[in-house]
C-alpha cells in the first residue's frame, strides 16, 4: 500500500511522475534531451544566435530595469546572461543542460564576461541556497516547458528571490494567430501525460497567473530580421512585471 501524500511537495512530485516520458525537457532527472538538442551548435535553431532578446534590450534602453543582481532561468547558450553582464548586472545563469552551459561558458570566455553559470534544476538550486535576493529574474523560454502544477513552484521561487521593487521578465509561447505551443486546457495535459512540446499562453492567462505582481508591459515580441543585432520572434509573448515594494 502506498500512502505517501502528506505535503504539497509530495503532491507536486506525484504529478511530476505523470510526465515521465517528457520529464527530460524540464526536470533535472532527465536533462539528456536538452544535451542532445544543444550538442550540434550549427543547427538552424532561432535562439542559437548570439543575440539578446529585443525586449530585454528595450527594457534596459528605456530605463525600465537598472543594473543589480540578476537570475537568468533556463539561460541556454547564455545570450541574455551575457547582455545583462555587459550592462552592469551581476548574473547567476541556470540551465538543465551541461551542453548549453558549455556553449555559454565558451561565449562568456570570448567576451570576458563574469557570468556565474550553474547546472541543474533552478527550483532545487534555489532551495539549496543559490544566490539571491535578485533585482531581476529573467526567463526566456523556460516557463512554457513546465507542467501546469509547477506554476506553484515557479510563483514560490519568484516570491522567495525577488526583492521588493524588483522585476520579473518573461518570454513564452503565445496562443492565437502566429503563436506557438499547445493550447489544450490544463487538464488535458494530465489526461494525455504529455506537454506537446510546450504550453501556449494568452495575455489574460499570464496576467492572472502573475496577478500578485504589477504589470509594466505585456506584448508580442517584435519580429527581428536576420541582419538585426537583436533576437525577436512574434510567436512569443514578452512580459515585464514588478514586485510590489509595499
pTM, to two decimals: 0.94
pLDDT tier at 246, thresholds 50, 70, 90: low
Q: Which residues pair with 116 in a beta bridge?
A: 92
**Per-residue confidence (pLDDT) for residue 21, from 0 to 100:** 60
**Per-residue confidence (pLDDT) for residue 61, from 0 to 100:** 98
**Per-residue confidence (pLDDT) for residue 174, from 0 to 100:** 98
What's the pLDDT tens digit per position in 15-48? 988 887 655 555 555 567 788 889 889 989 889 9
What does the alpha-carbon distance between residue 125 and residue 107 come to, in Å, rounded to a whole number?
23
**Per-residue confidence (pLDDT) for residue 132, from 0 to 100:** 82
**Per-residue confidence (pLDDT) for residue 17, from 0 to 100:** 87
- Mean pLDDT (whole number) for 112-136: 93
- The share of the chain scoring above pLDDT 70, in percent, equals 95
How would CATH label the architecture of 8-242? 3-Layer(aba) Sandwich (3.40)
* SS3 per-residue string spanning 122-179: HHHHHHCCCCCCEEEEEEECCHHHCCHHHHHHHHHHHHHHEEEEEEEEEEEEECCCCC
**Per-residue confidence (pLDDT) for residue 29, from 0 to 100:** 55
- Mean pLDDT (whole number) for 9-17: 91
**Per-residue confidence (pLDDT) for residue 32, from 0 to 100:** 78
Is the pLDDT at 63 greater than 80? The verdict is yes
Interior CA angle at 198 toward 135 and 202, to 5°?
Answer: 70
Is the CB of residue 175 less than 8 Å from the CB of residue 203?
Answer: no
Helix (H), strand (E) at residue 116 = strand 116-119
Is the CB of residue 121 less than 8 Å from the CB of residue 96?
Answer: yes
- The share of the chain scoring above pLDDT 90, in percent, equals 81
What does the alpha-carbon distance between residue 194 and residue 21 come to, in Å, rounded to a whole number?
8
Burial class (CB in 10 A: 0-12, 13-18, 19+), 12: middle
pLDDT tier at 1, thresholds 50, 70, 90: confident
**Per-residue confidence (pLDDT) for residue 245, from 0 to 100:** 63
- Mean pLDDT (the chain) is 93
**Per-residue confidence (pLDDT) for residue 161, from 0 to 100:** 97
What's the pLDDT tens digit per position in 165-210? 999 999 999 999 999 999 999 999 999 999 999 999 999 999 999 9
Amino acid at each position: 500500500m502506498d500512502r505517501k501524500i502528506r505535503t504539497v511537495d509530495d503532491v507536486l512530485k506525484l504529478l511530476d511522475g505523470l510526465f515521465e516520458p517528457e520529464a527530460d525537457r524540464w526536470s533535472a532527472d532527465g536533462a539528456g534531451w536538452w544535451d542532445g538538442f544543444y550538442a550540434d551548435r550549427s543547427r538552424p535553431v532561432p535562439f542559437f544566435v548570439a543575440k539578446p532578446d529585443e525586449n530585454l534590450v528595450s527594457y534596459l534602453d528605456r530605463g525600465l530595469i537598472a543594473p543589480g543582481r540578476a537570475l537568468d532561468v533556463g539561460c541556454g547558450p547564455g545570450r541574455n546572461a551575457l547582455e545583462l553582464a555587459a550592462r552592469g548586472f551581476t548574473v547567476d545563469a541556470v540551465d538543465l543542460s551541461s551542453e548549453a552551459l558549455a556553449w555559454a561558458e565558451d561565449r562568456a570566455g570570448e567576451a570576458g564576461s563574469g557570468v556565474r553559470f550553474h547546472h541543474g534544476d533552478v527550483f532545487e538550486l534555489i532551495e539549496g541556497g543559490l544566490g539571491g535576493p535578485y533585482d531581476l529574474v529573467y526567463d526566456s523560454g523556460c516557463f512554457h516547458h513546465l507542467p501546469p502544477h509547477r506554476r506553484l513552484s515557479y510563483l514560490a521561487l519568484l516570491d522567495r528571490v525577488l526583492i521588493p521593487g524588483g522585476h520579473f521578465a518573461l518570454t513564452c509561447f503565445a496562443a492565437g494567430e502566429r503563436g506557438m505551443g499547445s493550447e489544450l486546457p490544463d487538464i488535458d495535459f494530465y489526461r494525455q501525460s504529455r506537454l506537446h512540446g510546450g504550453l501556449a499562453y494568452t495575455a489574460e492567462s499570464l496576467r492572472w497567473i502573475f496577478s500578485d505582481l504589477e504589470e509594466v508591459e505585456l506584448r508580442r515580441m517584435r519580429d527581428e530580421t536576420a541582419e538585426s543585432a537583436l533576437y525577436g520572434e512574434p510567436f512569443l509573448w514578452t512580459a515585464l512585471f514588478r514586485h510590489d515594494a509595499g
